[in-house]
Amino acid sequence: MNPIRRLLLMQSVSMGSFLMLSEKSLAQEKSSKSSEAFRLVSIGGALTEMIYLLDSSKALVGVDTTSQYPDAVKKLPNVGYARSLSSEGILALKPTQVIAIEDAGPPVVLRQIANAGIPLTVLQSNLRFDGVLDRINKIGGLIDKAQGAKELIQNLNLEWTKTQKQLAAIQLKKTDVLFILSQNPTQVMVSGTKTSADAMISYAGANNAISGFSGYKPLTPEAMIAANPDVILMTDQGIEALGGMDGVLRFPGINKTTAGKQKKIISLEAMYMLGFGPRMPLAVRELNRLLAQTVSSS
């Protein structure tokens, strides 16, 4: 099946119709420059989703491990985790352009890529809806899909209006949410301010239960008890890494919090919830609804 059709079909099934680009505008851009003219390495799942939606998946020659959506990108050569890259794998793919999120690193690897003469564009995180649009616009410019980017932005603005309507309709009473990020049982961290998790909690109408620091810190039982969250939010991957819900509930101190006592522990898939990619308006709606259901259940 033609890749545009396949993507549109997939999006219409799994993401709703809002992200569909008209085949006309894509076809027009195809004639301006073929995607094969590029060899893109995308570092950051949200950026990979944008490139995919702009019909440039054929131009992708490599992605990082946070690029997990749509499924098709998992088949591409993988250059490792965005925050701990090595240059060899990236350079071996002979990219004509590397596009990376702001958190990509370490910096020495980014310098090696640039020193090798590979055009490298690092897109600012900007954890706002506007930031999502800005990144789509910049990627559209970089890969000759300006018209597609314009159309995607229009669709996302419509989606955002829907999200605003839902947020006005489903208002949470004051709800303290603690976000826990874990990759394995020995690395369990909690989110302060200025993280994707913090931004999503506030977009969804709740409060971050921890505001005394920015970024991530190891989670201690004392911090958990002091924060006393109403709800604990995690990623699906994080719950799995801790051995499922039973493993989460065994974390010291959790049984002394309101969330732990009432087993109000919820999760969404990591990049969907925290990626600030094209599915962000949808993720805000889902988190808002999930929080509202969790708070109101007894």
257 lies in the site for ligand HEM, by CB under 6 A = no
State the minimum distance, in angstroms, from the CB of residue 215 to ligand HEM.
5
Compute the distance between CA of residue 173 and CA of residue 123 in angstroms, rounded to an integer: 35
225 lies in the site for ligand HEM, by CB under 6 A = no
Q: Which of 183, 212, 178, 213 has its CA nearest to residue 197?
A: 178
Instruction: Say which amino acid occupies 18.
Output: F
State the minimum distance, in angstroms, from the CB of residue 105 to ligand HEM.
10
147 lies in the site for ligand HEM, by CB under 6 A = no
Q: How many residues are given for the chain?
A: 298
Interacting span for ligand HEM (CB under 6 A) from 35-43, 144-152, 266-274, 285-293? 266-274
- Contact with ligand HEM (CB under 6 A): which of 191, 208, 257, 267? 191
State the minimum distance, in angstroms, from the CB of residue 119 to ligand HEM.
25
Q: Which of 100, 165, 132 has its CA nearest to residue 280?
A: 132
- Contact with ligand HEM (CB under 6 A): which of 212, 215, 243, 252? 215
Interacting span for ligand HEM (CB under 6 A) from 28-36, 64-72, 111-119, 134-142? 64-72
274 lies in the site for ligand HEM, by CB under 6 A = yes
DSSP state of 170: S
State the minimum distance, in angstroms, from the CB of residue 83 to ligand HEM.
6
66 lies in the site for ligand HEM, by CB under 6 A = yes
Compute the distance between CA of residue 62 and CA of residue 89 in angstroms, rounded to an integer: 9
Is 175 or 196 the residue whose CB approaches ligand HEM more closely?
196
Mention every residue, 6+ apart, whose C-beta is less than 8 A from residue 219.
Answer: 180, 188, 189, 190, 251
Q: Which of 285, 288, 268 has its CA nearest to residue 172?
A: 288
**Residues paired with residue 232 on neighbouring β-strands, in sequence order:** 178, 265
Q: Give the 3-state secondary structure of residue 204.
A: coil
Q: If 0-12 CB within 10 Å is exposed, 13-18 middle and 19+ buried, where does residue 293 land? A: exposed
Is 216 or 253 the residue whose CB approaches ligand HEM more closely?
216
Is 25 or 68 the residue whose CB approaches ligand HEM more closely?
68
How many residues touch ligand HEM under the rule CB under 6 A: the total is 17
State the minimum distance, in angstroms, from the CB of residue 27 to ligand HEM.
33
DSSP 109-120: HHHHHHHTT--E
Interacting span for ligand HEM (CB under 6 A) from 53-61, 63-71, 160-168, 226-234? 63-71
- Whether residue 215 contacts residue 196, with contact meaning beta carbons closer than 8 Å, is answered with no
State the minimum distance, in angstroms, from the CB of residue 77 to ligand HEM.
16
Cβ atoms within 10 Å of 78's Cβ, excluding its own: 14
Where along the sequence are the contacts to ligand HEM (CB under 6 A)?
65-66, 68, 81, 83, 181, 183, 191, 195-197, 215-216, 237, 270-271, 274
